[in-house]
Amino acid sequence: MRRFTQTFLFASVAVGAILCGAGRLMAQDAARPWMNPKLAPEQRAGMVLKQLTLDEKLALLHGNGMPFVPQWQMPLTHLANGGAGYVEGVPRLGIPPLIISDAAYGVRGSGSNGRYSTAMPSNLGAASSWNPQAACAYGTVIAQELRAQGFDMTLGGGVDLVREPRNGRTFEYTGEDPLLAGTMTGSMMRCEQAQHVVGDIKHYVMNDQETGRMYVSAEIAKKAMQESDLLAFHIAIALAQPAAVMCSYNRINGVYACENPYTLRDVLKKNWGFQGFVISDWGGTHSTVAASAAGLDQEQPAADFFGPKLKEAVEAGKVPLAEIDDHARRVLYAEFLSGVVDDPPQKSVVDVRKGLEVAQKVEEESIVLLKNHSGLLPIDPARVRSIAILGGHADVGMISGGGSAQVDPPGGNAILPPGQGATVWGRPDWFPTSPLKALRAALPETKIVFDAGDDLDAAARLAKDSDLAIVFADQWESEGQDLPSLALGGNQNALIERVAAANPHTIVVLESGTAVTMPWIDKVDGVVEAWFAGSSGDKALANVLMGKVNPSGKLPITFPKSEDQLPHRSIPAPSAADQAEAKDNPATPHTRYAVDYTEGQVVGYKWFETRHEQPLFPFGFGLSYTTFAYADLSVDAANKTVRFTVKNTGKRAGTEIAEVYAQLPQGADESDYRRLAGWARVALQPGESKTVTVPIDPRVLKTFDAAKEAWNLAPGDYAVFVGGSSASTPLNAVLNLR
């Protein structure tokens, strides 16, 4: 009886506590109606805004410094969790801070913070998969690792078109075509934000080079910008619905991107209806009144312009309070939209296995087979008994991209002694992903010998004595510097030439962040583009070389034969006077340094087509270990779709990326080139055929009227082309739009 009484008393106390707790929660909910997750984000943001003081609003509009960087230190920097920055929340109202990390292809700075992060293949590499589902998985892993490390905002989502392939950040972007780039980046960021991380799309807009990036002016007509770079952003933003958009460092037609009223206020916010907040690139804010009026919502990483100066401007009547309310409302909306208010991150252990598996799968779909003379690949163990592996530090690892996108290799830079490989800005890093070890594991009965390639005579002797030679060549890219050319650096071209002369069965594996020129292309039997391959690049590459995975990747950019084929023979360097003026007057856009994009909207493969130039490898190109045939094209004008059949005519299962291009009616504006209008990934067994229906995206068929600020879809006969690349379209038809 006593035990029952005690149990009853304990239960009563427990129930009472629960009811009491529930009562407190109900009272709290009543006091904080914005905490109701059933309400729309804009409604919740409006409720919170009414509760804020001016100082609380202003605190949402700037960062509080950046760790480890003395000139950007502020009192709250230590709360930044070792990331890129920190924005105060409103604790009394349940609004969490923004704890921000760079995360272009993985969470940055993990090594210096004692953590682990998975490096996905570079963004350009992942775009080679042409697979939005792979991009989704890519973004999901990054977001989950951000949350596990305590971050609730990402600075990924690069979508600038590869207008200038020597741009040092090409590897962070997703190609030269608006539809492909916008779709891939939008898919990645949509799924990243779905994990309750504040998503970001960047660098808005025309961030096409690193040379003089803090003051260079991108000169381009509105029509051309709308139909190229802005179109890519619009597609990505429409798909991802990101909480934030980052404005870029450069100027656009003389006006800084972070205080440009046309791109920020008129296009992004008014025309596109973007409801999130515009965040400046780090150090990209140059004014207070002008930037606020133009549509910048948050300065990073400190408060040089949107801190005390902004408050003074409000109190002096130079900045209306309505502007401050709009800025703050957008930041609050972003937090509610992304879910970080209802589900803030909790530090936990990163799921390393999942990250490695996804990274490998994405890389396997992203590797592009560019040449395979006489079917030398995949490697046949019965015929290949000895292999020479040469160059590229392939004995210990694979190279990665640098700058703010850099993911720290676990254990440090693989080419340096243990304990000496800490990540350093401006120095290439190799991940401990050794192709040599991966191939030895895959071919235990084959003799595989490595040579660094420093001594060309020794390398040639080893190649001559081997059944197969594989030369690894790398081309490092990083934020803050552009490539002087698309040529391989050092003695790499000479190494390839000597090895190919010694052994006719030579394969070149490229680890690059952009296009590469290949003066030796006719002397080698095979070329494989592996990009910056990520944390499982060695395993993915070995699977492709061995034929366990049939390559399906296709180029998201055009590979020119030389820089002479590009719209700009070189990136013009700022003069000494330009540099001095920019240094003396960093906040005033008076410098004369500019790049005139006279090619306008004719970017990449469109440029080559209008110039009747034959590139080294065209946009959309990629080989397989099998072959495909196309037939039976038909069009449906009412539904704007095309229908055709793809057949696997080879002996291996494979996946074909079937590409659809459209050309505007004759006599219409810009009818002299094709534009990508859609695509489909088609998996086929040997001998199998599938009928595919692909919708044509009407956004890429329209032209922009700058005078009316309106888009037009011209009536008439649109030529439709279907095939395996921009330069190989065996099927054609006419789509009549009235």
Mean per-residue pLDDT of the chain: 95
Whole-angstrom distance, CA of residue 333 vs CA of residue 331: 5
Q: pLDDT at position 347, please?
A: 96
pLDDT digits (tens, 9 = 90+) for 458-507: 999 999 999 999 999 999 999 999 999 999 999 999 999 999 999 999 99
In the chain, % of residues over pLDDT 90:
91
The pair of three-digit structure tokens given for residue 348, joined into one six-digit string:
């936990």
The pair of three-digit structure tokens given for residue 608, joined into one six-digit string:
């080559």
Q: pLDDT at position 28, please?
A: 53
Whole-angstrom distance, CA of residue 174 vs CA of residue 459: 36
Which residues, at least 6 apart from 599, have a Cβ–Cβ distance to it below 8 Å?
Answer: 163, 567, 607
Whether 3 has a pLDDT exceeding 60, the answer reads: no
Superfamily name and number for 365-563: Glycoside hydrolase family 3 C-terminal domain (3.40.50.1700)
The CA radius of gyration of the chain, in Å to the nearest whole number, is: 27
In the chain, % of residues over pLDDT 70:
96
DSSP annotation of 271 reads: I
Give this prediction's pTM: 0.95
Q: What is the mean pLDDT of residues 167-187?
A: 98
The pair of three-digit structure tokens given for residue 77, joined into one six-digit string:
């920097």
Instruction: Answer whether 146's CB lies under 8 Å from 157's CB.
Output: no
Q: pLDDT at position 24, please?
A: 44
pLDDT category at 20 given cuts 50, 70, 90 is very low
Instruction: Answer whether 163's CB lies under 8 Å from 229's CB.
Output: yes
Whole-angstrom distance, CA of residue 337 vs CA of residue 89: 15
pLDDT category at 738 given cuts 50, 70, 90 is confident
H helix or E strand, kind and range, residue 328: helix 321-338
Using CA atoms of 67, 69, 71, 76 in order, give the dihedral in degrees to the nearest 10: 10
Whole-angstrom distance, CA of residue 472 vs CA of residue 398: 9
Domain range 40-338, CATH class: alpha beta
Q: Which CATH number fits domain 626-737: 3.40.50.80, 3.40.50.300, 2.160.10.10, 2.60.40.10?
A: 2.60.40.10
Whole-angstrom distance, CA of residue 161 vs CA of residue 169: 11
The pair of three-digit structure tokens given for residue 651, joined into one six-digit string:
């002996």
Q: Which of 269, 260, 284 is nearest to 84 (CA)?
A: 284
Cα 683–686–688 angle (5° rounding)?
65
Whole-angstrom distance, CA of residue 719 vs CA of residue 702: 14
CA 651 centroid distance within chain:
35
pLDDT digits (tens, 9 = 90+) for 68-80: 888 899 999 999 9
| CB count in 10 Å sphere of residue 26 | 10
pLDDT category at 27 given cuts 50, 70, 90 is very low
Which residues, at least 6 apart from 91, have a Cβ–Cβ distance to it below 8 Å?
Answer: none
Q: pLDDT at position 543, please?
A: 98
Whether 8 has a pLDDT exceeding 50, the answer reads: no
Q: What is the mean pLDDT of residues 40-53?
A: 98
Which residues, at least 6 apart from 362, have a Cβ–Cβ distance to it below 8 Å?
Answer: 120, 121, 125, 126, 129, 134, 137, 138, 534
Instruction: Answer whether 277's CB lies under 8 Å from 327's CB.
Output: yes
Whole-angstrom distance, CA of residue 207 vs CA of residue 215: 11
Q: Which of 508, 494, 498 is nearest to 464 (CA)?
A: 498
pLDDT digits (tens, 9 = 90+) for 160-170: 999 999 999 99
pLDDT digits (tens, 9 = 90+) for 336-351: 999 999 999 999 999 9
3-state secondary structure of 317: coil
3-state secondary structure of 310: helix
Instruction: Answer whether 393's CB lies under 8 Å from 410's CB.
Output: no
Q: Which of 93, 65, 92 is nearest to 81 (CA)?
A: 65
Sign of CA dihedral 442, 448, 451, 457: negative
Treating both helix axes as pointing N-terminal to C-terminal, what angle do 41-49 and 321-338 enclose, rounded to 10 degrees? 130
Q: What is the mean pLDDT of residues 543-556?
A: 98
Q: DSSP of 146-198, one letter per residue? A: HHHTT--EE---B----SSTT-TTGGGS--S-HHHHHHHHHHHHHHHHTTT-B
Which residues, at least 6 apart from 198, have a Cβ–Cβ distance to it below 8 Å?
Answer: 98, 152, 153, 154, 243, 244, 334, 335, 338, 340
